[in-house]
Structure 1
């Protein structure tokens, strides 16, 4: 550990010394394009032939961004910009002396494939935020909201605008018509906007910009050129109303006498989405009874560590403008706002076993909703001219009931999820010439609880403050945040919170926290502070500190896996940014971190070296290695004492071929080995992308992971006055294959297929129990059961430790084999801009199999040899625009 710290301090000192010897950043003058008001309207057909374009001049002289920054591109690009009272018009000529090689790859909207141009407009002129409009040589359009000065590109934004492209003997041309109602700007007599155009020359993987931005320069939006000459623009307030209707038919195997599973269901649903421009800067989004029927299924996953799994948000209402509400306060997926809590699956489980909340009697059947109904939601968001970024979200989910058919034929209702209100407010303010900001967030979750929901929080509140300050031409930064959480509920609910896996106050060695069964509230804190160098020269570095107090709780409307952590981290990087010899660029980094709990115990020390190389032939490679030592896990024994985990070493390597080719390949391998051979992991990844012709593409990704662990937690049992924390040797294999097929008839009509089988199998042997949880050797940490102490009978293991022929305790055989199969076939037609028609066929199933079977046999038994469930769905939307 001391060696690692010494090495990192040496690297940092070298970086400072080297930086002082580097020349200062090259000053690149801002380019200016002067637009004019058009005299006659241009037809947007991709052909720049009308006299209407002659009121303005061409601008050109693009400069490479990649791979050879600062030099002329292989082929030049030129453009014109003009405007009228309602629209901005842009014409682009992309020269190419081999037009037959231009990649006209058809995809659905936001596909971003093939040769293309991006128009980047900072109409706020805040030098941090922009709107990006993309048109490919095939006429496919895409759009993104760019935030964090170019670090975040969000393609969930879908404005209405018009574009087309044509290939000719000189290359290809693009025309765009962008309504001012889709942009945000102030009320000055002459607007000055940040402006840049990026061209991707696909077959050479070359990017060129109108306004040159050196690779050593931190920031992207802040370095754009400027668009002048926009005189007397009038704000165009946005008003869009989009009703929708959904027809859905489900078919599935009939389940005996269950009246709720008779083989098929038919549903009719309707709702409304609306977007209202309150001002030119701020928009109100409304949704009533939203439908998310065409959303892709979540990937399969199993968590053996007991922690919840993070799934990304895919529902359109919550995805759009998600960057405004984002508040990542620590590391990983931790966030104060996790929108998938809204409309979540009901808390109460219904079934025929004692592990469920509502136990059905014999011959009773239940119809349980999969998700809570969102009665309505409203989202007020945007960014003002003076630098305020504002977001307010309000949503209500209904009382959710399960229908239960009783043995006498009567039907009763049992509530499984209470009426819940979610409120989120987020704000940020730019200052210091847009080089800094300070912001805050507040969330509130309030439930209308009844007696049968005493285990839930009645109310949960979180608040946080964040900031970021940059200086020296944005090369250096200091950023941080701090949060506070407060949850209220019954004694039962707060006790459950204290004893949940994220906290485990009941641990016998956790003398620095207090388990209080009489509490009715809990307050915690967390935060992050970080300093770093992000631009200028070749060196980059950062370091910081993260903390999560044991009492912190965010999971009512946020996402939090761990508490009780204090993390110190450091990273140093060196960049080779000028192509030489066989490479285009290289990124080499060293990382170090340590983790302590609030009792002062060191729980992990990690060191890693990682490198990435982009080669001259457009291939890329990633390799890394490192080790973790002093590893202890407070949650490993699920309420037992802190447990020493075997130190390990890892190595990984990935290689990816040229993505501009019709066929590309990605291979990867990850290897983890622990001391004393306690655990081994091998992970293999294989992915191919193939586009045999412009309108069709496919990708196939396979991931196989094989893990062997002699100390996998199984269960906890009482043995007299003692606790037995039982572990086992698990052979855990998982396999995932993801197939995607895309066929586009034209830029507005596409057919997509998604299919994913997921198989996970765990087989246990060599059961043992913990004797000294923090001993340095695995042989001292656990004791194996001998053959006279353990016996198996009827899928249970019986333990007779005192050998008196009477079982002291039993536990269920933990072997498992889980199979999931999900497919989606979606036909999409955008019949007029902003209005769509979807035809969806979803098919799949899931089940458990005999763990003694192979992965392929389990897939055949549970998927190929069994009838699957199918859903047919038709969804129509129409967008009224003013």
Structure 2
């Protein structure tokens, strides 16, 4: 025990008393570049040539060093960068010298793409806070990319700015010329002299080389905090930051799946929308952003899925307004490298979600033969304020109002049409504030969110919360060159509503207050609110040479509930997790490798061990630029307190798993990836997935990608149903019915991207999915805390399948004589299924002037769900999908940017 204590002190506590390097001294040792003022913007012609005399006279940022492959090594090619400024713009000129100009990788693709190419990056920390940066990049064909960095190392790839760049290729190499409006940056205009952080980066694709101006050690933590200094900028006037982007769209939906008898059948449904976005700079560092009647028709559809669990599926946000600048609302994420935490405090897809009410909840299912309802809730308007002051105070505020939505139903018996409420009018509010301390090495912050619904005493008040609130604080502190850090967060939640609504919340999969064998939880149907807390603390070494490690503790009370504004799978846990890794950026036999070990455990508040996992892994990049990733894991015995969906806990058998992934040289025009994952447990449960990916660039403007995957899964504890059955000897007893299930998946994604120019592109994809599920070996869970079942005997007649069962809406069903007394106690539908779907999407995008775009979109989906299992023949099934009737969506959208 004493040696363990000494080890803990050595790993985590001694650096707390180590001598800290002064950050001010580090900044002084960074390289500097002086910007030269341009008196007349007309003197600079953005043509990618850099022929104006002022470029020739400007100071040069040279002396780049390698970041990759050899940390701190000498670049294979020379690079020079110069900086100018005016009262309206920052100008950057870069010459990327190349001894083999015909080997420059100059690929053409859509803006913000990640395809293989040479690049020049300009990173500007105009806040000068060592944490935030605005990044502008261009490739030799003039393709632009912009990225927003926050928290020193985190990226917002969806941030879009309006700026210009031109490039040219000549016998020296290639040249890039940037013109970046000051209105796209954030800075304190009241300062007479601007002191900004800056860095330049050059990427050479053919050698997988990254060269950087201000040296940034790969082994050390941080990115923005290593920037050099930009000097010479003086007497900037406050820029007028006003941007307005109105849009108009025309859409046509052709739904051929509707029955002819459906009175709502309209195979040609036209839709015209008008709205817009705006940005206004309240100050030079605080911005108001808004959207009115937003349209997201050009956004890629969610992938199709099959969900056999009791948990909601998480889908990524894809709508630009909610993506851009969303980083300001990040809360509660510690610097842990391994944590049990899976929840998201702000899940923006709650805003404008699919309406939650239905005809069954409303009690009109007997009257409604046909129904017409919107797929999404209308967002009337949304606005957000975000920015950062000179003193390091960051603020973010987002509010949105969604409309009341009603569904329309038709009753054939009385030939009448009616309406009913499916989603109430709702106000969403989320706010965030952070304060940088100690020159960006520390930060404290707060978070507050609220959801308020106008339920009007309708049936939805028994299903939805009247209001939901969350408040919290967080902080982080780094030392020893930011290689060591500690962070933590604490938040509280409260949801309020009717007794029926709060009772339903207690019974959801996140809580299961009604769990029959819980010692500490009990369902309270008189409650009109539910409250809880979450906390997490992490400490570790995140950079520097040698080992890196972290230790994290998370705790969430049973009553914590944030699903109105956030995303949360479960509450009720206490979880310590740990992580250890070793990275070598300059090994003898490889180009790079990383080794890691980690583990984690979790207990619910009753003390049941609900998670018990150990894993290791390795990543190798070979000298030929192939990569190999391998992992292995072991799960010890633990208890699943969610699988019976409110019933007793079940012990889970031990299992083991491994994975292997291989990728060939991605700098080639054709490269391949292969991956496999295999898991098996002591009960015979299996999960095996195998995937391939083929990437082909036949020309500099065409890219093809094909990624097929086949999955086989055998579960021995698939939940089927619950029944309360009477037995003469015992009275009524709870029965939890399970089965084994064989699941087969085939999924694939084919993408074709054709780029006409740096401003016009065509992107297409086709995404089929085939899933079959065969249930067998039906059984009852018979003893809490074990993995014991009583399997129904088909030969003795305990379970019989037949075509029809009274009260069961299914083509076939099972009758169960659970007591083996000749009496049928209950019935359930045959859960076997065969699901097929295919999604297709085509988007033509033309940015006809900076910030102004035209979209032409075509989407198609075909889908079929059958209550039967057929032989798993994925390729035949993909062909059979086209027997299903399609839904086609066509959209033309035009937006125009007005800005200063």
Q: Is residue 38 of structure 2 the alignment partner of residue 38 of structure 1?
A: yes
Structure 2 residue aligned with 1:374: 379
Q: Is residue 573 of structure 2 the alignment partner of residue 569 of structure 1?
A: no
Q: Is residue 701 of structure 2 the alignment partner of residue 684 of structure 1?
A: no
Matches of 2:733 and 2:675, distance apart in 1 = 46
Change in CA separation of 1:22 and 1:552 when aligned onto 2, cut-off 3 Å? closer
TM-aligned CA deviation for residue 366 of structure 1: 1.6
Structure 1 residue aligned with 2:266: 262
Contact conserved, 1:774 with 1:781, CA < 8 A, in 2? no
Which stretch has the larger CA shift, 624-633 or 371-380?
Answer: 624-633
Matches of 1:470 and 1:793, distance apart in 2 = 66
Change in CA separation of 1:755 and 1:6 when aligned onto 2, cut-off 3 Å? farther
> Which of the residues 674, 697, 710 maps onto 1:704?
710
Structure 2 residue aligned with 1:442: 448
Structure 2 residue aligned with 1:864: 882
Structure 1 residue aligned with 2:648: 641
Contact conserved, 2:168 with 2:174, CA < 8 A, in 1? yes
Q: Is residue 541 of structure 2 the alignment partner of residue 511 of structure 1?
A: no
1:510 alignment partner, SS class: coil
Contact conserved, 1:437 with 1:469, CA < 8 A, in 2? yes
Matches of 2:272 and 2:851, distance apart in 1 = 23
Structure 1 residue aligned with 2:729: none
Change in CA separation of 1:24 and 1:441 when aligned onto 2, cut-off 3 Å? closer
> Which of the residues 422, 430, 435 maps onto 1:429?
435
Matches of 2:474 and 2:621, distance apart in 1 = 35
Q: Is residue 231 of structure 2 the alignment partner of residue 221 of structure 1?
A: no
Matches of 1:305 and 1:9, distance apart in 2 = 44
TM-aligned CA deviation for residue 514 of structure 1: 2.5
Structure 1 residue aligned with 2:834: 817
Matches of 1:725 and 1:13, distance apart in 2 = 50
Which stretch has the larger CA shift, 650-659 or 842-851?
Answer: 842-851
1:545 alignment partner, SS class: strand
Change in CA separation of 1:551 and 1:6 when aligned onto 2, cut-off 3 Å? farther
Matches of 2:26 and 2:129, distance apart in 1 = 20
Q: Is residue 209 of structure 2 the alignment partner of residue 191 of structure 1?
A: no
Change in CA separation of 1:590 and 1:18 when aligned onto 2, cut-off 3 Å? farther
Contact conserved, 1:847 with 1:862, CA < 8 A, in 2? no
TM-aligned CA deviation for residue 594 of structure 1: 0.6
Cα displacement string for residues 93-137 of structure 1 (whole angstroms, at most 9, x for unaligned residues): 001111111111111111143000110000000000000000001
User: Given the two structures, how large is their TM-score scaled by the length of structure 2?
Assistant: 0.93
User: Given the two structures, how large is their TM-score scaled by the length of structure 1?
Assistant: 0.95
Q: Give structure 1 stretches of 5+ with no counterpart.
A: none
Aligned pairs for 1:74-153 within 5 A: 74-113=76-115, 114-150=117-153, 152-153=154-155
Contact conserved, 1:760 with 1:855, CA < 8 A, in 2? no
Which stretch has the larger CA shift, 546-555 or 697-706?
Answer: 697-706
CA RMSD of aligned residues (A): 2.4
Change in CA separation of 1:332 and 1:201 when aligned onto 2, cut-off 3 Å? farther
Structure 1 residue aligned with 2:807: none
Q: Is residue 561 of structure 2 the alignment partner of residue 553 of structure 1?
A: yes
Q: Is residue 475 of structure 2 the alignment partner of residue 476 of structure 1?
A: no
Aligned pairs for 1:575-724 within 5 A: 575-581=583-589, 583-677=590-684, 679-720=685-726, 721-724=732-735
Change in CA separation of 1:159 and 1:832 when aligned onto 2, cut-off 3 Å? same
Q: Give structure 2 stretches of 5+ with no counterpart.
A: 334-338, 727-731, 804-811
TM-aligned CA deviation for residue 331 of structure 1: 4.9
Structure 2 residue aligned with 1:751: 762
TM-aligned CA deviation for residue 312 of structure 1: 0.7
Structure 2 residue aligned with 1:383: 388
Contact conserved, 2:836 with 2:878, CA < 8 A, in 1? no
Change in CA separation of 1:115 and 1:66 when aligned onto 2, cut-off 3 Å? same
Matches of 1:96 and 1:704, distance apart in 2 = 44
Matches of 1:784 and 1:798, distance apart in 2 = 11
Aligned pairs for 1:762-841 within 5 A: 762-775=773-786, 778=787, 780-788=788-796, 789-794=798-803, 795-841=812-858
Change in CA separation of 1:649 and 1:860 when aligned onto 2, cut-off 3 Å? closer
> Which of the residues 459, 466, 488 maps onto 1:458?
466
1:240 alignment partner, SS class: strand
TM-aligned CA deviation for residue 786 of structure 1: 4.7
Change in CA separation of 1:617 and 1:549 when aligned onto 2, cut-off 3 Å? same
TM-aligned CA deviation for residue 54 of structure 1: 2.8
2:505 alignment partner, SS class: helix
1:52 alignment partner, SS class: helix
Matches of 2:836 and 2:81, distance apart in 1 = 54
Change in CA separation of 1:171 and 1:9 when aligned onto 2, cut-off 3 Å? farther
Structure 1 residue aligned with 2:356: 347
Cα displacement string for residues 771-802 of structure 1 (whole angstroms, at most 9, x for unaligned residues): 11322xx4x34444452111111211111133
Structure 2 residue aligned with 1:413: 419
> Which of the residues 730, 734, 741 maps onto 2:752?
741
Structure 2 residue aligned with 1:180: 182
Structure 2 residue aligned with 1:246: 249
Structure 2 residue aligned with 1:397: 402
Matches of 2:845 and 2:881, distance apart in 1 = 28
Contact conserved, 1:759 with 1:855, CA < 8 A, in 2? no
Matches of 1:861 and 1:782, distance apart in 2 = 41
TM-aligned CA deviation for residue 559 of structure 1: 0.6
Cα displacement string for residues 297-342 of structure 1 (whole angstroms, at most 9, x for unaligned residues): 1112222221001111000110010100122457554111100000
